[in-house]
Structure 1
Amino acid sequence: MRRCLVSLTFCTCYLASYLTNMYVLSVLKFTYPTLFQGRQTLIGGLLLHVSWKLGWVEINNSSRSDVLMWLPASVLFVGIIYAGSRALSRLAIPVFLTLHNVAEVIICGHQKCFQKEKTSLAKICSALFLLATTGSLPFHDSQFDPDGYFWAVIHLFCLYASEIHQKMQ
């Protein structure tokens, strides 16, 4: 029950942060993503500290090699937030979410091709439809912004690299 509650709390906080990020960057046209990223990092650090004090997570003195092992993941996480914020400040929310979901297609393709995981036909069809939709998106986007798409591609690359790094761990 406790794990369920912790997981539900984390998912709720993540979703609230994501929706707030989309609202502030897209609707309010907030174009200072570094400040917003700093606020998110501060809140994440405070939540981690509170979780540690409540005994939900264990933080111990790690060796230098342990810290260096997580350095790429930290850099990729910052890249995900920064590039996603920049893309959201220039793209409409539905366009960004469509592009964001391509990361799942790329990861699914990686698992199918390189890790030889079995994938259902429905998942493959869904991935192909999403790729077709995303491929035609720039041609039908009435508010096309090359910089927004550039940052969305950087965001996707960081998401993909982070997922691969996590699987390697």
Structure 2
Amino acid sequence: MQWRRHVTGLAFSLVFVVSYFTNKFVLSVLNFTYPTLFQGWQTFIGAILLIVSGKLGWVEINRITRSAALSWFPGSLLFVGNIYAGSRALSRLDIPFFFTLQNCSHAVSYMIFKVIRREKTQWLKFISLCFMLLSAINLPFYDPQVDHSSYLWAVCHLACVGAYRVFQVHHKSVSLSDLEQQCINYLFSVLLLAVAAHPTGDLTGALEFPSLQSHTFHCGCCASALLGFLLRLATVKLKSGLSFEHFGVWIFLSKVTAMLLSPFIFSVNSNASSLLCVVVSHVGEALLIYSERDSQV
């Protein structure tokens, strides 16, 4: 029924906003800038909750074969790059700026699809991607507190997001559901991030972190892990019940809601020019969703 779709969409938006706000709080307000440990903790809890949910029959997860897991290995690498670089960027970028840069992942996907499929150019889609790309390119010049390293991490993040989107489309397999793919991502991420924790210096830095014994820090980390897991479940549930176009609408609405509420929760440093970049980027995203009403990417 239609009302059930709306309830699912609203639940997704709520989890989306609270999840990003919680991550931003831990990364920026508490200043826990150790992404191998932060994302390792999130993926570890996510893996446990997903496996337990499968064992209890709450979600459907079948036995994953070794060949299926190996075939999904490139996707897991992109997933790790996505969450690691995303944490680095989100820790120093305001949420509206982060989403403006993240929108460029659509341009990355489009360029890869263009090479692979050699499709005819849809001009409305091309114009929308230009809006997003130009906004992201100009944003660092107008950001009042520009941090070049955060923008470099954001570029890595959007590249991984865009490439992962393409990989999902071109490696659809009847042997792996979305949740099974996510389970592989979680398990691989835990392994890789655990190995990387010491060489990156995150382990040493975290042991000396001033708020390590703080209840606020513990609650924030636990909430971020649980919300990250719930967001994955909500995403799969929403995608399974909606068309690609309507799923994109809920993503767009969730991002706009997060951006509008973020100044009430966090300190946002902006000016008219940087806000114009944000607005133009999301106008471009709205046009992209409109252009895809009759086709899927």
**TM-score between both structures, scaled by the size of structure 2:** 0.49
Query: Is 1:76 matched with 2:54?
Result: no
Query: What is residue 99 of structure 2 aligned with on the other side?
Result: 97
**Whole-angstrom distance in 1 between the partners of 2:92 and 2:43:** 22
CA apart distance, 1:20 = 2.0
Alignment check: 8 A CA contact 2:79 2:164 kept: yes
Q: Distance in 2 between matches of 1:95 and 1:28?
A: 20
Could you say which residue in structure 1 is the equivalent of 2:161?
Answer: 159
Match of 1:131 in 2: 133
Q: Describe the SS at the equivalent of 2:109.
A: helix
Post-superposition CA distance 1:109-151 (Å, at most 9, x none): 4334542446654332221111111111111112111111111
**One-letter amino acid of the counterpart of residue 140, structure 2:** P
Cα deviation for residue 102 of structure 1 reads 0.4
Paired letter, 1:89: S
Higher mean C-alpha deviation, range 100-109 or range 82-91: 100-109
Q: Map 1:19-30 onto structure 2 (within 5 A).
A: 19-30=21-32
Take 2:28 and 2:124, find their aligned partners in 1: how far apart are those partners? 33
Alignment-derived partner of residue 36 in structure 1: 38
SS in 2 for 1:90: coil
1:12 is displaced (CA, Å) by 5.4
TM-superposed deviation, 1:4:
5.9
Letter in 2 for 1:137: L
How many Å separate the matches in 1 of 2:95 and 2:15?
19
Q: Which residue identity is paired with 2:61?
A: E
8 A Cα contact 1:26 1:93, kept in partner = no
Q: Displacement, 1:14?
A: 5.1
Q: 1:40 to 1:17 in 2, by over 3 A?
A: farther
Is residue 109–residue 163 contact of structure 2 (8 Å, CA) maintained in 1? no
Q: How many residues align?
A: 167
| Structure 1 residue 165 displacement after superposition | 1.8
Distance between the aligned counterparts of 1:117 and 1:55, measured in 2? 40
Change (3 A) 1:121 1:28: farther
Question: Could you tell me which residue of structure 1 aligns to residue 184 of structure 2?
Answer: none
Larger mean CA deviation between 97-106 and 47-56 belongs to 47-56
Deviates more, 1:120-129 or 1:149-158: 120-129
AA partner of residue 152 (structure 1) = A
Which piece of structure 1 moves more, 126-135 or 112-121?
Answer: 112-121
Q: Stretches of 4+ moved more than 6 A in 1?
A: none
Q: Which amino acid aligns with 1:29?
A: N
SS class of match (1:30): coil
Q: RMSD of the TM alignment (CA)?
A: 2.8
Q: Which moved more, 1:131-140 or 1:8-17?
A: 8-17
- Structure 1 distance, partners of 2:128, 2:99, is 15
Percent identity, aligned pairs only, is: 48
CA distance in 1, matches of 2:168, 2:90: 25
Structure 1 residues 56 and 118: CA distance shift in structure 2, 3 A: farther
Larger radius of gyration: 2
Counterpart residue type for residue 99 of structure 2 = L
Cα distance, 1:14–1:42 mapped onto 2, change above 3 Å: farther
